[in-house]
Structure 1
């Protein structure tokens, strides 16, 4: 077990342990997840950061049991919800847990919503099918949920179709739908994609408020460090299908313990550096069909040395729950 998992499974709402997933295609095998470890507790927000292709969404899909199989194949590890291993559970058990105990918000709300049914019907349908709620009561609950996610004039909007909602309103409707069965765990996959900055902030504030009111665990998946700075309790950073750093939000932003995290931080625009050229991470993420030997980040790392090209770094425990998969983690931390 990784040092990231330093407490027993029973103490966590959700625990992902040493998860391995690969995609088997005509062109070869892509090792998408390579021993992912993280956990989230009730009432906590865990942010999962990383560039596109790092494995963030695949991990969430595996947790929810909606990974496309094939081409996806789970080759190792465990996913435990309240101590129960979901990977060995029956399909019926996974279906029972989806919605009731765990729910997911997808990044493209327009595609996730059915265009031929009203928003209210889609929310109410869950209550009718899973709770046996009457049509009238289910629609009343749909209005209540739309009101909770701060959609104005909910009694009228519940009768409208997804295309009649703005992008931000559709995302709010998706949040309402995911909360209909009162889950203990909510996974939000890029919930602010394609929204303007003001609406992004509103959505993030809404998720944080709902998390606090309901005491649920929240996993926030994003590539944007800016949107999680104020709401995340802990952060894990993914690269090439692996957790390369894990820390509480304050510590990670103050002193990154991995060169990849440091690069992400330096690429964020800052008001105190107005007029200066933004730093970038050179190169591109690796092809998961041919991940470089040693540390997968070494071709892009400004401080890579010979050992980085040949030795895969282990998880260095930096204390206070901080983990960094870098040969020079201690040196990185000493700068702070």
Structure 2
């Protein structure tokens, strides 16, 4: 079965007064129908920029796509007209932004913001659009939807606003949903509710779901496959079970080691030494080598290629096979 969405060898630069920031450096991943792909990495690794490139909402300038393809059902979205891109963005691929309060317009009711795209895209009457907006709010389990649809974003709690954003993104029944840090700033109970909701809707609609996050706990519960990003690159790509059981890249292993564990009660949490590199000046060779416990002189001069680890697993590390064989 062909993937719904494919990102292949994508390069993006931010051309700033301070220089050229190489934000994405050959990003490649795909998502299939009914599948959840989690994209992991520290802040600044390029997770959200990739999502914005897919949606075609990068600020240009300073952002410039310098190479690669983004294919939806095999069609390269970087080579189509703006009109076609708008059609795909509305009805094929949708996004849930991480800050619902900023994403929602404060001067319009939540219902109006859902109804607008139904009227514009589907030609619905105001009455039909209002009925559908109430149905969508019901779908995402917002109580008293018929009343809530007339309220403004500031009258919703954080979790309710996030649910409203999900309802808005589902209005045109997309095939691919990108959830960009959908549980940021929510308490643990609400996080679980939001993730359960996304999973339930995805299964019911057989959507492809791209979950962008840095929360390893959330990923373990919902992901089928995981792409780990560092300095604008996918450094490891594997199924969720294999990656958690046996990481194939030192960066992935370091992320796993930084998780709190019950058997480490009273001890200091493990951390990754140093800081992520400046994208204005990415180190030569492997970009992770200044922070890597396994680094040798080769790592500072030679960019690692893809090392296949079997069953579709890929790692960009000179010592990937050695790392996996330790367990």
Instruction: Judge same fold: TM > 0.5, yes or no.
Output: yes
**1:104, 1:94 → 2: CA distance?**
14
Alignment counterpart, residue 68 of structure 1, candidates 42, 59, 63: 59
**2:271, 2:191 → 1: CA distance?**
23
Are 1:83 and 2:74 matched, yes or no? yes
**2:73, 2:265 → 1: CA distance?**
47
Which residue of structure 2 lines up, in the alignment, with residue 246 of structure 1? 237
**2:128, 2:2 → 1: CA distance?**
36
Deviation at 1:232, TM superposition (A): 0.4
Matches within 5 A, 1:180-195: 180-195=171-186
Residue 294 of structure 2 aligns to a residue in which SS? Answer: coil
Which residue of structure 2 lines up, in the alignment, with residue 113 of structure 1? 104
Which residue of structure 2 lines up, in the alignment, with residue 162 of structure 1? 153
Matches within 5 A, 1:255-334: 255-334=246-325
Deviation at 1:99, TM superposition (A): 1.8
Matches within 5 A, 1:139-218: 139-218=130-209
Are 1:220 and 2:203 matched, yes or no? no
Deviation at 1:303, TM superposition (A): 1.2
Matches within 5 A, 1:8-157: 11-157=2-148
Residue 11 of structure 1 aligns to a residue in which SS? Answer: coil
**2:7, 2:304 → 1: CA distance?**
20
**1:128, 1:275 → 2: CA distance?**
57
Residue 104 of structure 1 aligns to a residue in which SS? Answer: strand
Which residue of structure 2 lines up, in the alignment, with residue 5 of structure 1? none
- RMSD value, Cα: 0.8
Residue 54 of structure 1 aligns to a residue in which SS? Answer: coil
Residue 121 of structure 2 aligns to a residue in which SS? Answer: helix
The runs of at least 4 consecutive aligned structure 1 residues that moved more than 3 Å come to none
1:100-150 C-alpha deviation (Å, 9 max, x unpaired):
111000000000000011111111111001000010110111110001101
Instruction: Count residues in correspondence.
Output: 327
**2:209, 2:147 → 1: CA distance?**
30
Are 1:236 and 2:235 matched, yes or no? no
**1:319, 1:269 → 2: CA distance?**
29
Deviation at 1:56, TM superposition (A): 0.5
Deviation at 1:275, TM superposition (A): 1.7
**2:322, 2:42 → 1: CA distance?**
24
**1:248, 1:172 → 2: CA distance?**
28
**1:232, 1:99 → 2: CA distance?**
25
**2:130, 2:263 → 1: CA distance?**
50
